[in-house]
């Protein structure tokens, strides 16, 4: 029996050495170490041995089994390593080849314009405030000197949700809300950028949804000359130091007096051309001194406090600054158009 175990060991180790695949190794394991293998048969015949021989043969059988198992494991590890190395060679990547370019996006032109305007006014000490796009009739109209039935409401066709809720038609409600939070006792110096909605027919210069930035300054002894200084700084920073401005009388229900601001045409330098329709000037925004009624409704004493407000459309600023002729380009998501301004 001892000689038989030694023969099985030699035979099994030889087959392990010759095995060239994992499957062949599995067959060797089953053949020699399985339940029906020769080593198991030897162990079953140990009952015929004397008490003295049993432990010797048992120990030998275990040693043979362990040697064969270790040899199979070692051979399997070797074959797996060789297979992995071969696979890596077949799947290797030539890092010397040029890489595939990845298209990198950039901020939307309107986002860039809004951020540029925000940075400019932050530099002048203004805060940035935001408010809800779904607004109440009170803050959108009544708090801005536009009571129900006021004829000036016809100027803004509105998306109503209920009789008292609507999609805001301007960002002015943020001004009214901010003044109300101050309880009429603190100065206000803010701008409020955001989306607004009007029932306009979409064309080259109109959209049912667009962006707006409005500004407000309320304090003691605020004058029209302060408004002009702020607007002139804005115009020259946005369109060039050589730009001139002019203020024309206008009407807005929430300001009195009210003005429209024009800038000198950068295409002709004020001489007159097709861009400015021969006038030498281009309308850019509306502004004025805050109406006393608006101040009083927000809790301010209009005899003590005064202020100015202004409003502009980032779309119009972008169109003038970059020579864009159709507002719809901003919203149709044509990457060919938008990618031109990633570094604007």
Query: Which of 91, 118, 150 is where one domain is finished?
Result: 91
Known binding-site positions: 256
The answer as to whether 193 is a domain residue is yes
Q: What is the pLDDT of residue 227?
A: 97
Q: What is the pLDDT of residues 97-106, one digit of tens each?
A: 787 888 888 8
pLDDT at residue 245, rounded to an integer: 93
**Region at 240 (left for phi over 0; alpha for psi -120 to 50; beta for the rest):** left
Q: For residue 331, is it within any domain?
A: yes
Point out the residues of the chain with pLDDT beneath 70.
Answer: 1, 43-50, 152, 154-156, 344
User: Do residues 84 and 134 both lie within one domain?
Assistant: no
Mark whether 172 and 54 lie in a shared domain.
Answer: no
> What is the Cα Rg of the chain in Å?
42
11, 39, 280 from 64: Cα distances, Å: 11, 8, 105
Place of tokens 């009429």: 184
Residues flagged as binding site for Mg(2+): 256
Do 231 and 329 have their domain in common?
yes
Domain of residue 117: give its range: 109-341
Please spell the DSSP secondary structure of 242-307, one letter per residue. T--EEEEEEEETTEEEEEEEEEE-TTTTTS--TTTTTSSEEEEEEEEEEPHHHHHHTT--TTTEEE
> Of 172, 185, 137, 189, which Cα lies nearest the Cα of 299?
185
| Residues 191 and 317 reside in one and the same domain | yes
Residue 309 lies in a domain: yes
CA angle 326, 331, 333 (to 5 degrees): 110
Question: 321 and 199 in one domain?
Answer: yes
Does a structural domain hold residue 98? no
Q: How far apart are CA 65 and CA 70, in angstroms?
A: 9
77 in the same domain as 209: no
Number of domains within the chain: 2
Distance CA 31, CA 17 (A): 15
Q: Is residue 138 part of a domain?
A: yes
Q: How many CB atoms lie within 10 A of CB 279?
A: 14
Q: What is the pLDDT of residue 300?
A: 95
* Within-domain flag for 17: yes
Q: Residue 239, Cβ neighbours under 10 Å: how many?
A: 19
Contact 175/291 with Cβ under 8 angstroms?
no
The per-residue pLDDT for 272 is 83
Pair (126, 209) in one structural domain: yes
- CATH number of domain containing 312: 3.30.930.10
pLDDT value of residue 19? 85
Residue 47 DSSP symbol: G
Q: Report yes or no on 96 lying in a domain.
A: no
pLDDT tens-digit readout, 168-202: 999 999 999 999 999 889 999 999 999 999 988 88
HSE value, Cβ hemisphere, 13 Å, CA-based, for 135:
28
102 domain residue, yes or no = no
CB atoms within 10 A of CB 121: 21
């Amino acid at each position: 029996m001892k000689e038989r175990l030694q023969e099985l060991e030699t035979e099994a180790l030889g087959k392990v050495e010759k095995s060239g695949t994992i499957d062949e190794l599995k067959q060797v394991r089953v053949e020699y170490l399985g339940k029906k293998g020769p080593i198991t048969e030897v162990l079953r015949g140990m009952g015929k041995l004397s008490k003295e021989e049993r432990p010797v043969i048992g120990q030998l059988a275990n040693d043979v089994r362990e040697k064969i198992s270790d040899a199979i494991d070692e051979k399997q590890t070797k074959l797996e390593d060789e297979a992995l190395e071969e696979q890596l060679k077949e799947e290797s990547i030539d890092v010397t080849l040029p890489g595939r370019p990845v298209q990198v996006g950039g901020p939307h032109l309107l986002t860039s314009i809004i951020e540029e305007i925000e940075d400019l006014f932050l530099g002048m000490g203004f805060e940035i405030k935001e408010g809800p796009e779904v607004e109440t009739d009170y803050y959108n109209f009544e708090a801005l000197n536009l009571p129900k039935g006021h004829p000036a409401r016809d100027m803004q066709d509105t998306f109503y949700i209920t009789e008292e809720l609507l999609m805001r038609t301007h960002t002015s409600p943020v001004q009214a809300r901010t003044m109300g939070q101050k309880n009429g006792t603190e100065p206000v110096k803010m701008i409020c950028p955001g989306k607004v909605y009007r029932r306009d027919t979409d064309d080259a210069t109109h959209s049912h949804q667009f962006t707006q930035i409005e500004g407000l300054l309320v304090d003691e002894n605020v004058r029209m000359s302060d408004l002009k200084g702020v607007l002139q700084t804005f115009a020259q920073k946005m369109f060039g130091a050589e730009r001139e401005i002019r203020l024309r009388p206008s009407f807005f229900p929430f300001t009195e007096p009210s003005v429209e601001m024009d800038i000198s045409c950068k295409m002709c330098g004020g001489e007159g051309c097709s861009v400015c329709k021969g006038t030498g000037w281009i309308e850019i925004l509306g502004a004025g001194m805050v109406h006393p009624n608006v101040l009083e409704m927000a809790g301010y004493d209009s005899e003590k406090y005064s202020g100015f407000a202004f409003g502009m459309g980032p779309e119009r600023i972008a169109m003038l600054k970059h020579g864009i002729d159709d507002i719809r380009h901003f919203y149709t998501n044509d990457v060919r158009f938008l990618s031109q301004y990633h570094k604007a």
